[in-house]
Amino acid sequence: MAKLGKLRLGVNIDHVATVRNARGGDTPDPLRAARIAQEAGADGITAHLREDRRHISDADIEGLMEILNVPLNFEMAATDEMQAIALRHKPHAVCIVPEKREERTTEGGLEVAREENRLAHFIAPLREAGCRVSIFIAADMRQVEAAHRIGAQVVELHSGAYCDAYHEGRYDAADAELAKLREMTTFGHSLGLEMHVGHGLTYDTVSPVAAFPEVVELNIGHFLIGEAIFLGLAPAIDEMRRLMDEART
């Protein structure tokens, strides 16, 4: 069987900032994590500047723009405040994600189909500024089509439902979620979208997703930062990289 192209690994460093913010000081430093991640072979760094600044801060984004040699994937809600920040920094990629203040994490994908007109106008200046615009959505055909219609270049499919089902032992549901992800990566690719997947991925769940031929990037954070406590960040990334490469063979 032919070997697939190399899959990019974007390391999300949000939860280094979560630990830092638990004490309100400077450590652990997300910028240090980003440096280690890029030295360990991360192909990009992902950071989500939430409206409530619960983890990543404005200063973190500024620092990342200064120090990174790999692309920054800047995750943000579709608000005027975030658009202005993105236009000031012009990161390589901007990923538009849904946000609810009270949620524990990003629970679902963006409702693009319901807000097509507003989102098309929202992303236009980001594209004009040279950012690759990515839309974080559920594996749902209506949303993939809408993301394409509004002019997004990239779609990131939310893998949380698959990972949750797997880790809760609901294997039939996990298989069903995986099948949706598989189908929508093929469909999105057929429309000319660059296909990414992310959220909740772990060593146990990454391989089937990494084997999807049309996927070019996985964004993984919470699990890697957790593993870093036990293994160190570089070895945790190495193991994820190994599993991804193995799945591509």
Ligand X SMILES: CC(=O)[C@@H](O)[C@H](O)COP(=O)(O)O
Ligand Y SMILES: NCC(=O)COP(=O)(O)O
* Residue ranges at the known binding site: 12, 14-15, 23, 50, 55, 105, 200, 221-222
Dihedral, CA atoms, 44, 45, 49, 50, nearest 10 degrees?
90
Q: How far is the CB of 13 from ligand X (least distance, A)?
A: 10
Rounded to whole angstroms, how far apart are CA atoms 168 and 84? Answer: 40
Q: Verify binding: residue 201, ligand Y, rule CB under 6 A.
A: yes
Question: Which does residue 68 bind out of ligand Y, ligand X, none, counting CB within 5 to 8 angstroms by kind?
Answer: none
Q: How far is the CB of 190 from ligand X (least distance, A)?
A: 24
* Nearer of residues 44 and 221 to ligand X, judged by Cβ: 221
Question: Which does residue 109 bind out of ligand Y, ligand X, none, counting CB within 5 to 8 angstroms by kind?
Answer: none
List 7, 8, 9, 12, residue binding ligand Y (CB under 6 A): 12
Closest CA to 177 of 149, 220, 208: 208
Q: Nearest-CB residue to ligand X?
A: 105
List 139, 220, 236, 244, residue binding ligand Y (CB under 6 A): 220
Q: Label the pairing between strands 132-137 and 154-158.
A: parallel
Binding residues with ligand Y: total (CB under 6 A) = 12
Q: Using alpha carbons only, what angle is made at residue 36 by residues 7 and 31, rounded to the nearest 5 degrees?
A: 110
Closest CA to 197 of 245, 150, 163, 235: 163
Rounded to whole angstroms, how far apart are CA atoms 105 and 160? Answer: 10
* Nearer of residues 12 and 83 to ligand X, judged by Cβ: 12
List active site positions: 48, 75, 199
| Cα–Cα separations (whole angstroms), residue 139 to 38, 61, 135, 233 | 29, 29, 12, 30
Of 127-166, binders to ligand Y (CB under 6 A) are 156
